[in-house]
C-alpha cells in the first residue's frame, strides 16, 4: 500500500488526547494479579481539597486516577520498548512502502497524561522521498498493546473503518500505512496523519479545554460533539462497506452481538464471580432488545476525550476501536453513564448541558427521536460494568487498590439500573477477584 500525501497544518496537533505543536513541514505544497480477595486501603474518608474551578474534590480524584491508569497502560503498551527502538522499527516499516526511500524518523514520543485509550499511541516526525519527491510530516503510530484490556484487538478493522470514513463528513485522521501482522513494527499497527486540535481529559467537567472555556463556548463545544455524533449516525454504513461489523460477535441482532462481544471479554478474563453476577443482566438484555431501532454505526467510545476541537468546532473524531453497529441511543447516553463512574456528583459548570438537554439537542441536530432510553442506558451500564471488571485482571494490585472505589462503581450502577426492571444482581463483596 503506497503512502498517502499529507497536508499538515501549522499550529497544535493532537492524537491520543494530548495537544502537540507541529514542528514538521512539507517540501511541497502540501498482570494478571494474584487471585484472591483483599480489602481496599482507602476505607478512610478522603480529605477534601479544591481544584482550580473552586470545586471540592476528594484526594482520590480523577486526575490521580488518570495518572495511575496512564502509568500502567504505558507499561502494557510498550513492553519496555524504547522510543529509539520504535524509531528504528518505524524507519524500516515506512521504508518498505512502495515508492518510498530515504526515510528519517525523529522525536518519537509518547502521548501525554491525558491519554488513556486501549491501543498504544506514539507521535513522531518523519521525512522520506516518494517517487522522487521529498516529503516530511508529523505522524502518529497506533499499535496493538502487549497486554490489552479486551479479548480482541483488530488494528486492521480500525484502519479500514477510518479509511472508509475519510470520504464522509465525519472528520477523521488520514490513514496512511498498515502493518496488520506486525512483521515490521513488531506489533500489529498503523500510521496515520496528525490532526490539528485539542481534546478534553476524562475529567472534562473539572479540567481541560471544556472546563476552562467560557460558558457560551462550553455550550458550543458540547453541541459540536452532538453534531459529530449525528453525522456518524447518519452514515450509510452499508454503502461504506462496513457490513463486516455484523460479524463482530455472535448474534442475529445488533445489541445482542455487542452484549456478546463484551461477554466474550468477560469470559476471556475469567472473572468468575462477575460472570455469575452479571449473567442475568446479559440474558435480559438479549431477550429484551427493542425491535423498533435504527441500526447505525456507533462510535462506541463516545466520550469527550475522543473528540478533538479547534476552538469550539470538532476537528476530528478519534479512537474507533470500540465501534460497532448499534443505535444512536448507545452513543448519546455513553458520556452520561461514564460520568456517573468517573465524575460522580461533580457540580456542573455554567454552560454545561444537562443529560436531558443533550438528548433534546441531539434530536434537534439529527432530526431523530430517541427511543427506549432506559433500555440503552442499562445496556451502556452493562458495557461499562464489564470494562470496570476487566480492569481487575489488567491492573497490578497497588493501582487496583487505589482505583477500587471507582472501578466497583460501574457494576454497582448496572445493578441499580437492573433493579428497576426487576432484576436482582448479586454483586460479589468488595475486592473480590476470583
Residue 146 included in any domain: yes
* DSSP assignments along 89-151, one per residue: HHHHHHHTSTTEEEEEEEEEEE--TT---SSEEEEEEEEEEETTEEEEEEEEEEE--SS-SSS
168 and 266 both lie in a single domain:
no
Q: Which domain holds residue 148?
A: 12-30+73-196
383 and 239 both lie in a single domain:
yes
Average pLDDT, the chain: 83
Poorest-pLDDT segment among 2-6, 94-98, 394-398:
2-6
pLDDT at residue 31 tops 50:
no
Residue 268 included in any domain: yes
Specify the pLDDT at position 6. 31
Confidence of residue 63 (pLDDT cuts 50, 70, 90): low
Neighbour tally for 133: CB within 10 Å = 12
pLDDT at residue 324 tops 80:
yes
pLDDT at residue 25 tops 50:
no
pLDDT at residue 147 tops 90:
no
Specify the pLDDT at position 434. 64
Residue 103 included in any domain: yes
| 408 compared with 145, residue with greater pLDDT | 408
306 and 277 both lie in a single domain:
yes
158 and 248 both lie in a single domain:
no
Residue 38 included in any domain: no
Grid cell digits, residue 187: 506489533
| 136 compared with 79, residue with greater pLDDT | 136
Q: Mean pLDDT over residues 263-281, rounded?
A: 93
| 189 compared with 431, residue with greater pLDDT | 189
Grid cell digits, residue 368: 431523530
Q: Mean pLDDT over residues 289-316, rounded?
A: 96
pLDDT at residue 78 tops 80:
no
254-269 and 373-394 are packed helices; what angle lies between their axes, rounded to 10 degrees?
A: 20
166 and 105 both lie in a single domain:
yes
Confidence of residue 419 (pLDDT cuts 50, 70, 90): very high
Q: Which of 196, 227, 261 delimits the end of a domain?
A: 196
Specify the pLDDT at position 70. 53
Q: Which of 149, 165, 196 delimits the end of a domain?
A: 196
126 and 186 both lie in a single domain:
yes
Condensed to tens digits (0 to 9), the pLDDT of residues 330-363 reads 999 999 999 998 887 889 999 999 999 999 999 9
What is the reported pTM?
0.83
Give the CA angle between residues 199, 339, 359 to the nearest 5°.
Answer: 85
Specify the pLDDT at position 373. 98
Neighbour tally for 149: CB within 10 Å = 17
334 and 399 both lie in a single domain:
yes
Confidence of residue 71 (pLDDT cuts 50, 70, 90): low
157 and 221 both lie in a single domain:
no
Q: What is the DSSP letter of 46?
A: P
91 and 230 both lie in a single domain:
no
Q: Which of 196, 224, 258 delimits the end of a domain?
A: 196
Specify the pLDDT at position 104. 97
- For residue 278, count CB atoms less than 10 angstroms from its CB and return exposed for 0-12, middle for 13-18, buried for 19 or more: buried
CATH code of the domain covering residue 221: 3.90.1200.10
Residue 401 included in any domain: yes
Confidence of residue 64 (pLDDT cuts 50, 70, 90): low
Grid cell digits, residue 319: 479512537
331 and 380 both lie in a single domain:
yes
151 and 296 both lie in a single domain:
no
Residue 362 included in any domain: yes
pLDDT at residue 65 tops 50:
yes
Backbone angles phi, psi at 144, to 5 degrees: -70, 130
Q: What is the DSSP letter of 306?
A: G
Confidence of residue 42 (pLDDT cuts 50, 70, 90): very low
The count of structural domains within the chain is 2
Residue 43 included in any domain: no
CATH code of the domain covering residue 178: 3.30.200.20
Three-state secondary structure call for residue 21: strand
302 and 278 both lie in a single domain:
yes
Residue 49 included in any domain: no
Amino acid at each position: 500500500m503506497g503512502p498517502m500525501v499529507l497536508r499538515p497544518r501549522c499550529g497544535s496537533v493532537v492524537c491520543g488526547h494530548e495537544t502537540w505543536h507541529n514542528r514538521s513541514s512539507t517540501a511541497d505544497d502540501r498482570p494478571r494479579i494474584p487471585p484472591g480477595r483483599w480489602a481496599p486501603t482507602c476505607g478512610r474518608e478522603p480529605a477534601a481539597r479544591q481544584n482550580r474551578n473552586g470545586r471540592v474534590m476528594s484526594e482520590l480524584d480523577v486526575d490521580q486516577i488518570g495518572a495511575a491508569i496512564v502509568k500502567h497502560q504505558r507499561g502494557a503498551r510498550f513492553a519496555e520498548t524504547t522510543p529509539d527502538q520504535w524509531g528504528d522499527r518505524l524507519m524500516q516499516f515506512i521504508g518498505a512502502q512502495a515508492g518510498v526511500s530515504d526515510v528519517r524518523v525523529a522525536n518519537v514520543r509518547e502521548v501525554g497524561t491525558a491519554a488513556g485509550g486501549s491501543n498504544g499511541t506514539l507521535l513522531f516526525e518523519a521525512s522520506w522521498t516518494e517517487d522522487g519527491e521529498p516529503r516530511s510530516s508529523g505522524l502518529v503510530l497506533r499499535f496493538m498493546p502487549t497486554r490489552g484490556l479486551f479479548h480482541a484487538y483488530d488494528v486492521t478493522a480500525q484502519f479500514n473503518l477510518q479509511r472508509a470514513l475519510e470520504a464522509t463528513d465525519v472528520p477523521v485522521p488520514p490513514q496512511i500505512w498498515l502493518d496488520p501482522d506486525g512483521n515490521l513494527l513488531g506489533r500489529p499497527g498503523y500510521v496515520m496523519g496528525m490532526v490539528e486540535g485539542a481534546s478534553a481529559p476524562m475529567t472534562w467537567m473539572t479540567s481541560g479545554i471544556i472546563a476552562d472555556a467560557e460558558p457560551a463556548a462550553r455550550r458550543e463545544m458540547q453541541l459540536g460533539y452532538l453534531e459529530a455524533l449525528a453525522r456518524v449516525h447518519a452514515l450509510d454504513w452499508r454503502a461504506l462497506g462496513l457490513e463486516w461489523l455484523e460479524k463482530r460477535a455472535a448474534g442475529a441482532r445488533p445489541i445482542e452481538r455487542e452484549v456478546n462481544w463484551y461477554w466474550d471479554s468477560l469470559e476471556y478474563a475469567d472473572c468468575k464471580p462477575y460472570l455469575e453476577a452479571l449473567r442475568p443482566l446479559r440474558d435480559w438484555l438479549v431477550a429484551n432488545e427493542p425491535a423498533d431501532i435504527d441500526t447505525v454505526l456507533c462510535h462506541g467510545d463516545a466520550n469527550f476525550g475522543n473528540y478533538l476541537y479547534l476552538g469550539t468546532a470538532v476537528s476530528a473524531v478519534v479512537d474507533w476501536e470500540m465501534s460497532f453497529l448499534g443505535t444512536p441511543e448507545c452513543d448519546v447516553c455513553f458520556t452520561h453513564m461514564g460520568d456517573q463512574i468517573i465524575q460522580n456528583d461533580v457540580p456542573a459548570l455554567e454552560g454545561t448541558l444537562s443529560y436531558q438537554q443533550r438528548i433534546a439537542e441531539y434530536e434537534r441536530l439529527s432530526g431523530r427521536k430517541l427511543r427506549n432510553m432506559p433500555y440503552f442506558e442499562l445496556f451502556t451500564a452493562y458495557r461499562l460494568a464489564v470494562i470496570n471488571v476487566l480492569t481487575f485482571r489488567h491492573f497490578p494490585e497497588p493501582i487496583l487498590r487505589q482505583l477500587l472505589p471507582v472501578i466497583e462503581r460501574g457494576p454497582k450502577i448496572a445493578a441499580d439500573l437492573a433493579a428497576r426492571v426487576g432484576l436482582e444482581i448479586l454483586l460479589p463483596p468488595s475486592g473480590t477477584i476470583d
